[in-house]
């Protein structure tokens, strides 16, 4: 069998998995399109080079050295071994360099999203144009399609890296400095981001959802997000609200419209609107919330949040019912 056959089959199988909400090869924004094109361009260049070099090697092993003049051998080395790879590799290099300015484009001034890497979750603050105060959320980034939003990146204690493969390149988040990037999503949908720099024992459990909305839906969502939390109106949820404050949860978490103003942990204001819990680790359900409150350590080793396994399960279920319903 042709030796390249298995390689080609493996490559096709691997690339067949490159779809879904967290793939560089399934772009949903301008920057990601550029990067996906770069990938295909580099792959094509590498395939051309690989085929040419293999062809040359194959040819060299088949010819009778006595039939090849000294000039012929020199020409083979000069053109096949040096000139051709240099031209192909230089072409790839210049193409890659030429797209770098695009990757550093500034936002169009409409929206700035400030994302801070915490251990191990994401603090997210939206600054619409002209805003004096940010709208705080956590563990999800929502962006309007059709405009270029500025993303400013910070970190609390250790280095993290912000990456939504379907929307653009990644950028490090470094304590004590602010890194800037911009994203111009074009295709509304739900994408997934992931911390891309090892940041401690739960680095792998530091994901987030990135949702791209149409400009109208985004404006409506931001409007709702800016408002106070609307708690669920059930007896269980009221009991849960009382338990939440009695246990002192408001010292670490904020819920707008309530006395909870803590800044240590994620803001919980409109928790019900988020797709996941604990930075992409659990689904947003009452059961998952109860599990998280009972023993965060079992879900996310090293998490700062203390466990409440000393409380009766009914009390935790009530707290979960309250939080799960925060619209």
Q: Which is nearer to ligand CUA, 243 or 279 (CB)?
A: 279
Q: Which of 82, 74, 73, 75 is nearest to 52 (CA)?
A: 82
Whats the size of the chain, residue-wise?
Answer: 327
Q: Per the structure block, which two tokens stand in for 98? A: 């030429």
What part of residues 157-176 is at the interface with ligand CUA (CB under 6 A)? Answer: 160
Bridge partners (DSSP) of residue 155 are 117
Q: Per the structure block, which two tokens stand in for 265? A: 């942990």
Q: Which of 27, 28, 107, 117 binds ligand CUA (CB under 6 A)?
A: 117
Least distance CB 249 / ligand CUA (angstroms): 24
**Contact region for ligand CUA (CB under 6 A) — 80-88, 124-132, 193-201, 247-255?**
193-201
Q: Which of 192, 202, 212 is nearest to 280 (CA)?
A: 192
Least distance CB 124 / ligand CUA (angstroms): 14
Q: Which is nearer to ligand CUA, 231 or 265 (CB)?
A: 265
**Contact region for ligand CUA (CB under 6 A) — 69-77, 89-97, 195-203, 215-223?**
195-203
Q: Which is nearer to ligand CUA, 175 or 257 (CB)?
A: 175
Phi, psi dihedrals of residue 274, rounded to the nearest 5°: -90, 150
Contact 190, 26 (CB under 8 A): no
Helices then strands, counting H and E runs in the chain, come out as 10, 12
**Contact region for ligand CUA (CB under 6 A) — 58-66, 198-206, 257-265, 291-299?**
198-206
Q: Which is nearer to ligand CUA, 119 or 182 (CB)?
A: 119
**CA–CA dist 151, 111 (Å, integer):** 9
Our finding on whether 40 is near ligand CUA (CB under 6 A) is no
Give the C-alpha distances (Å, rounded to integers) separating 144 from 220, 223, 279, 313: 11, 13, 21, 40
Our finding on whether 192 is near ligand CUA (CB under 6 A) is no
Q: 16: alpha, beta or left, given left = phi > 0 and alpha = psi -120 to 50? A: alpha
Our finding on whether 278 is near ligand CUA (CB under 6 A) is no
**Contact region for ligand CUA (CB under 6 A) — 176-184, 197-205, 261-269, 286-294?**
197-205
- Please report, as ranges, the residues that interact with ligand CUA according to CB under 6 A: 117, 120, 160, 195, 197-199, 203, 206
């Amino acid at each position: 069998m042709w030796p390249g056959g298995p390689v080609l089959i493996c490559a096709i199988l691997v690339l067949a998995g490159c779809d879904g909400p967290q793939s560089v090869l399934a772009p949903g924004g301008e920057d990601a399109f550029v990067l996906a094109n770069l990938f295909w361009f580099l792959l094509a260049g590498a395939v051309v080079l690989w085929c040419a070099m293999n062809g040359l090697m194959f040819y060299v092993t088949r010819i009778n050295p006595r039939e090849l003049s000294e000039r012929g051998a020199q020409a083979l080395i000069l053109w096949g071994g040096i000139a051709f790879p240099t031209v192909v590799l230089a072409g790839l290099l210049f193409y890659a360099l030429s797209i770098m300015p695009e990757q550093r484009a500034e936002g169009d001034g409409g929206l700035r999203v400030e994302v801070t890497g915490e251990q191990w979750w994401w603090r997210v603050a939206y600054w619409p144009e002209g805003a004096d105060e940010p709208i705080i959320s956590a563990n999800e980034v929502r962006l309007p399609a059709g405009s270029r939003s500025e993303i400013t990146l910070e970190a609390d204690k250790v280095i993290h890296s912000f990456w939504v493969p379907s929307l653009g390149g990644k950028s490090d988040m470094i304590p004590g400095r602010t890194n800037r990037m911009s994203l111009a999503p074009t295709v509304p949908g739900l994408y997934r981001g992931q911390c891309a720099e090892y940041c401690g024992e739960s680095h792998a459990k530091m994901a987030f959802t990135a949702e791209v909305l149409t400009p109208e839906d985004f404006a409506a969502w931001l409007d709702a997000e800016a408002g106070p939390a609307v708690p669920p109106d059930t007896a269980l949820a009221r009991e849960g609200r009382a338990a939440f404050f009695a246990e002192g949860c408001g010292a670490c978490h904020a819920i707008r419209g309530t006395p909870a103003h803590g800044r240590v942990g994620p803001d919980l204001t409109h928790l019900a609107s988020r797709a996941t819990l604990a930075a992409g680790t659990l689904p947003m359900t009452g059961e998952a919330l109860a599990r998280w409150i009972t023993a965060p350590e079992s879900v996310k080793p090293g998490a700062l949040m203390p466990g409440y396994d000393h409380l009766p399960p009914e009390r935790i279920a009530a707290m979960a019912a309250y939080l799960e319903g925060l619209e």
